[in-house]
Amino acid sequence: MAIERYIFYPSGGMRALSEEELSHIRSDQNPRISIVGIGGAGNKLLGNVIGNGGIGPEQCVAVNTDKGQLSRSLASNKVLLGEDIVDGKGVFGSVSVGRRALQLSAHRVTSFVGASDITIILVGFGGGTGTAAAPLVAQWARTQVKPVVAVVALPFTHERERRFIALRGLKKMADACDCTVVVDNAMSLDGSEGVNGVLADLTAVAAVRSLTEALSSLESNITKNILRILMLGPLSGVYTHHMRPEESLSTAILETVRTPSSNLSLSRAQGAVLLYTGPVPIGASQAARAYDTLSSLTGRTLGFVYASTVKASAPTLCLLLTGYDYESSLGSFVELLTDLYDVEYEQPTGNLEAPLPLQLYQLERP
């Protein structure tokens, strides 16, 4: 049974690459994929993507205003932003200083991403460096024929003001990228592996590793179909799961969606990208059952593509639910936050350029 049988394209006003655009993605050889980790969270998560036999460090670039964090990065390529203005000490939550720092060092980032066919950006939003730099890097890297996918971590619940800044930043990111995968630190659950952002870390790293492996090593028509499904809408959610021995794919999917890493609701998804890594590839009949499970979970016909990366490793699933738009998925939530913020600080929130009176958030490690 051909994979294409399970790919549906819901109609609607979503951006998808045309056949002509997709044909520019080189089919004669694997696409060059760059992974860009920006700011403290982006640099740390990039280290997890590279470590333990992950993605090759030479295709990764760490970008930061913080020299100390940058020096610990495992990436082969490093760009220190705005050394002249912040002396390698970070921007302490100021989005406007972060933007200026990036602009001063722009050419060093663009020369790296300009040479790639696909760019994947990894970043935590809410601080100054990542929130300012990631949408601009995405704009520079993205062309008609060079898609950009981002994985963005949103702040924890207790980082109140940062969540507001991050959600506004997410709107810019959603506009700048072909697909922005959201992992929310606030979805950490007491008593589960979600504590202290572990769930966000795991899902962000799984998304970047699985996408990089699938997009770079699979047949070009599957690469194109993965991109098509990712581009059904600006935002995506991600789920990851280590499969137990003898566990069926459908059971694994049911298990996976019990631990969401964002509050994007299943019923609003328009597409699904199912990426499997393990010793035995997914068969077509398993994939068909997986599709049925997903469409009954979401209650609708989905765009669907699956891909297996065969490796002598424990079987792992990464499920991306795609096609969410910003306004209906998060818009009302952002409005509510804006109102709360205005009441609390007795000031209008329109001007995000002005630095807010924030403590620099330090993630506590267990």
Ligand X SMILES: Nc1nc2c(ncn2[C@@H]2O[C@H](COP(=O)(O)OP(=O)(O)OP(=O)(O)O)[C@@H](O)[C@H]2O)c(=O)[nH]1
Q: How far is the CB of 217 from ligand X (least distance, A)?
A: 27
CA 242 to chain centre: 20
Q: Does 83 participate in binding ligand X (rule CB under 6 A)?
A: no
Q: Which does 44 bind (CB under 5 to 8 A by kind): ligand X, Mg ion, none?
A: ligand X
Of 64-72, 243-251, 307-315, 345-353, which part binds Mg ion (CB under 5 A)? 64-72
Number of Cβ within 10 Å of residue 236's Cβ equals: 29
> How many residues contact ligand X, by CB under 6 A?
27
Answer for which of 34, 59, 105, 185 binds ligand X (CB under 6 A) is: 185
Q: Does 66 participate in binding Mg ion (rule CB under 5 A)?
A: yes
Q: How far is the CB of 156 from Mg ion (least distance, A)?
A: 15
Q: How far is the CB of 5 from ligand X (least distance, A)?
A: 37
Amino acid (one-letter) located at 330 = L
* Size of the chain in residues: 366
Answer for which of 17, 35, 36, 39 binds ligand X (CB under 6 A) is: 39
Q: Is residue 80 classed as helix, strand or coil in its secondary structure?
A: strand
Q: How far is the CB of 277 from ligand X (least distance, A)?
A: 21
Shortest Cβ contact with Mg ion: which residue?
A: 40
Q: Which is nearer to Mg ion, 66 or 178 (CB)?
A: 66
Q: Does 238 participate in binding ligand X (rule CB under 6 A)?
A: no
Q: Does 222 participate in binding ligand X (rule CB under 6 A)?
A: no
- 333 contacts: CB under 8 Å, gap ≥ 6: 167
CB contact at 8 A, 105 and 82? yes
Pairing of strands 118-124, 148-154: parallel
Number of Cβ within 10 Å of residue 357's Cβ equals: 7
Q: Exposed, middle or buried, 128 (CB in 10 Å: 0-12/13-18/19+)?
A: buried
Q: Does 260 participate in binding ligand X (rule CB under 6 A)?
A: no
Q: Which does 168 bind (CB under 5 to 8 A by kind): ligand X, Mg ion, none?
A: none
Q: Does 159 participate in binding Mg ion (rule CB under 5 A)?
A: no
Alpha helices in the chain (DSSP H): 19-24, 39-50, 67-71, 83-86, 95-104, 106-113, 129-141, 160-176, 198-217, 220-230, 249-256, 284-298, 326, 332-345
Q: Exposed, middle or buried, 8 (CB in 10 Å: 0-12/13-18/19+)?
A: middle
Q: How far is the CB of 66 from ligand X (least distance, A)?
A: 6
> Phi then psi for 214, rounded to 5 degrees?
-70, -45
Of 109-117, 121-129, 228-236, 304-312, which part binds ligand X (CB under 6 A)? 121-129
Answer for which of 47, 90, 303, 323 binds Mg ion (CB under 5 A) is: 90
Separation CA 237–CA 284 (nearest Å): 24
Q: How far is the CB of 87 from Mg ion (least distance, A)?
A: 14
Of 60-68, 219-227, 290-298, 309-317, which part binds Mg ion (CB under 5 A)? 60-68
Q: Which does 178 bind (CB under 5 to 8 A by kind): Mg ion, ligand X, none?
A: none
Q: Which is nearer to ligand X, 163 or 224 (CB)?
A: 163
Q: Which of 208, 54, 245, 23 minimizes the C-alpha distance to 123? A: 208
Looking at the DSSP bridge assignments, the partners of residue 64 are 80
- 28 contacts: CB under 8 Å, gap ≥ 6: none
Q: How far is the CB of 122 from Mg ion (least distance, A)?
A: 14
Separation CA 302–CA 269 (nearest Å): 8
Contact characters 5-44, Mg ion, x per CB under 5 A: -----------------------------------x----
Question: Given the rule CB under 6 A, which residues bind ligand X?
Answer: 39-41, 44, 65, 90-93, 124, 126-130, 153, 155-156, 159, 162, 185, 197, 200-201, 360-361, 363
Q: Which spans of this chain sit near Mg ion (rule: CB under 5 A)?
A: 40, 66, 90
